[in-house]
């Protein structure tokens, strides 16, 4: 059982584990200043559960948001952007205790265990300030994970067998130009909220397939368009500190199959994104801000199978953006959760999503998974009952009555229906 203590708007600093979360200024999306004073995540009170997703911070984050909603607390987009980086760092620290709580896979060797046969080195939570010299003498090193560094040494370019470099727990201010020498590198992960610049040599990583650049608030070098093998790009929390445009170079990555713009502060999603004709998964979770008024014709992406378009806590009425979703005939998974009512100072700034067009799913016959949770739906569209390939639907935290749910069960008897916390009569 998970135990979470949340305090919002308290008139004091809120302790989080052994630190304090100071007061942060924020705006409500319409220019009105306010003060967000913190949330006590109380990870140290979470009791071990074998189902607890230690390796998936996103699931834990959503669990936290869900429980806040159950307590009638809806964090605004600005509040989420302030808390999320702190949450990620704290959760990473806490999740690393899982070996003390439950048996898990054997940890990769650390300093005193390195041998010429070592392929995987994880130096996170080792209190290092520099990469140990012994790491550069490992002829078979394939994966390296680091934290505690603000800058990588030029010597990192000598790790010519490296296939994965995980810097997601390091607060880097930059990358050396020698990063471009890692010809075998397939996966690069790092957080960008402290980055001052990225080298043009990033575009020399000819084998790179996965690039995670969460919290990036600086320009992407134009050389990134040379990453012809790149299929997975994570730009979640892009421009987390201010609204901005999608870097044009992204639209030139023709091999991309997955693009995450979750929680990105984009003023527009340009039509140029339609040039990504290999795209199979697009994540726009909580990316709707007041300035975003339209979506491109996503139905023109011929291979788009998965679309994540959570409404989040944007204070703007943007239900009309959903009209761009219904024509996407190739969809197999669709996530349209959290388009509920939003208030600021007791004033409704976004009404709840209570209905969908009856023909909403007429053109999406391939759907296998559908998430409509945290919407105040009182009915289901007629076209939904005809989705014969649907395997799973999340209707939790909706207002559907028992008769509607029973009809859905009869129409699609093999369908798994998640009704956790739905208000059914």
Residue 258 tokens read as 């997955």
- Residues near 320 by Cβ (< 8 Å), separated by ≥ 6? none
Where do the structural domains in the chain lie, given as residue ranges?
Answer: 14-101
pLDDT at 418: 93
pLDDT at 76: 62
Percent of the chain with pLDDT over 70: 70
- Residues near 103 by Cβ (< 8 Å), separated by ≥ 6? none
pLDDT at 421: 56
| Rounded Cα gap, residues 150 and 128, in angstroms | 11
* Contact of 122 with 146, CB cutoff 8 Å: no
Lowest mean pLDDT among 73-82, 137-146, 233-242: 73-82
> Bridge-partner residues for 306, per DSSP?
281, 333
User: What is the tens place of the pLDDT at every residue in 89-129?
Assistant: 555 555 554 433 333 344 455 667 788 899 999 988 777 77
Residue 29 has pLDDT above 80, yes or no: no
pLDDT at 312: 76
pLDDT at 106: 46
- Residues near 53 by Cβ (< 8 Å), separated by ≥ 6? 59, 60
pLDDT-based confidence at 41, cuts 50/70/90?
A: very low
Residue 283 tokens read as 């994540």
pLDDT at 195: 87
Backbone angles phi, psi at 121, to 5 degrees: -125, 120
* Contact of 197 with 173, CB cutoff 8 Å: no
pLDDT at 241: 66
User: What is the bridge-based pairing of β-strands 347-350 and 143-147?
Assistant: unpaired
SS3 142: coil
* Contact of 324 with 301, CB cutoff 8 Å: no
| Rounded Cα gap, residues 202 and 199, in angstroms | 6
pLDDT at 226: 96
Q: Is 266 left (phi over 0), alpha (psi -120 to 50) or beta?
A: beta
pLDDT at 44: 39
- E-strand ranges in 117-231 read 120-122, 143-147, 164-169, 187-191, 210-214
Between residues 241 and 19, which one has the greater pLDDT? 241
The residue-averaged pLDDT of 203-221 equals 94
| Rounded Cα gap, residues 183 and 167, in angstroms | 18
177 burial type by CB count under 10 A (0-12 exposed, 13-18 middle, 19+ buried): middle
pLDDT at 210: 98
The single residue listed with the structure tokens 């369908």 is 415
* Contact of 288 with 295, CB cutoff 8 Å: no
For residue 72, give the nearest of 397, 416, 410 by alpha carbon. Answer: 397
User: What is the tens place of the pLDDT at every residue in 72-87?
Assistant: 566 665 566 656 666 6
Mean per-residue pLDDT over the chain, rounded: 79
For residue 155, give the nearest of 139, 132, 174 by alpha carbon. Answer: 132
């Amino acid at each position: 059982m998970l135990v979470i203590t949340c305090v919002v708007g308290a008139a004091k600093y809120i302790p989080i584990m052994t630190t304090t979360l100071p007061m942060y200024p924020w705006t409500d999306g319409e220019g009105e200043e306010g003060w967000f004073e913190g949330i006590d995540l109380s990870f140290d009170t979470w009791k071990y559960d074998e189902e607890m997703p230690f390796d998936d911070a996103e699931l834990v984050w959503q669990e936290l948001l869900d429980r806040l909603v159950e307590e009638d607390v809806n964090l605004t987009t600005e509040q989420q952007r302030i808390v999320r980086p702190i949450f990620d760092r704290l959760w990473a620290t806490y999740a690393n205790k899982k070996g003390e709580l439950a048996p898990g896979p054997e940890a990769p060797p650390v300093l005193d265990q390195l041998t010429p046969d070592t392929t995987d080195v994880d130096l996170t939570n080792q209190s290092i300030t520099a990469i140990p010299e012994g790491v550069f003498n490992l002829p078979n090193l394939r994966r390296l994970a680091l934290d505690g560094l603000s800058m990588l040494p030029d010597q990192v370019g000598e790790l010519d067998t490296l296939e994965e470099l995980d810097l997601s727990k390091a607060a880097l201010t930059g990358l050396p130009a020698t990063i471009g020498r890692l010809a075998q590198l397939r996966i690069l992960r790092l957080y960008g909220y402290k980055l001052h610049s990225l080298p043009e040599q990033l575009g020399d990583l000819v084998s790179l397939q996965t690039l995670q650049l969460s919290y990036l608030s600086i320009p992407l070098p134009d050389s990134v368009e040379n990453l012809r093998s790149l299929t997975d790009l994570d730009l979640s929390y892009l421009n987390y500190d201010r609204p901005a445009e999608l870097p044009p170079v992204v639209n030139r990555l023709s091999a991309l199959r997955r693009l995450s713009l979750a929680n990105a502060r984009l003023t527009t999603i340009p039509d140029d994104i339609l040039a990504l004709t290999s795209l199979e998964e697009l994540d726009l979770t909580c990316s709707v801000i007041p300035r975003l008024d339209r979506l491109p014709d996503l139905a023109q992406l011929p291979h788009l199978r998965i679309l994540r378009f959570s409404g989040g806590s944007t204070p703007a009425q943007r239900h009309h953006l959903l009209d761009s979703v219904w024509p996407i005939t190739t969809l197999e998974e669709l996530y349209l959760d959290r388009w509920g009512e939003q208030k600021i100072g007791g004033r409704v700034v976004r009404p709840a999503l209570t209905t969908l067009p009856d023909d909403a799913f007429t053109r999406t016959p391939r759907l296998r998974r559908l998430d409509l949770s945290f919407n105040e739906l009182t009915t289901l569209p007629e076209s939904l009952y005809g989705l014969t390939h649907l395997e799973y639907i999340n209707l939790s935290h909706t207002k559907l009555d028992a008769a509607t749910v029973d009809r859905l069960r009869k129409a699609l008897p093999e369908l798994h229906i998640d009704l956790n916390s739905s208000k059914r009569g």
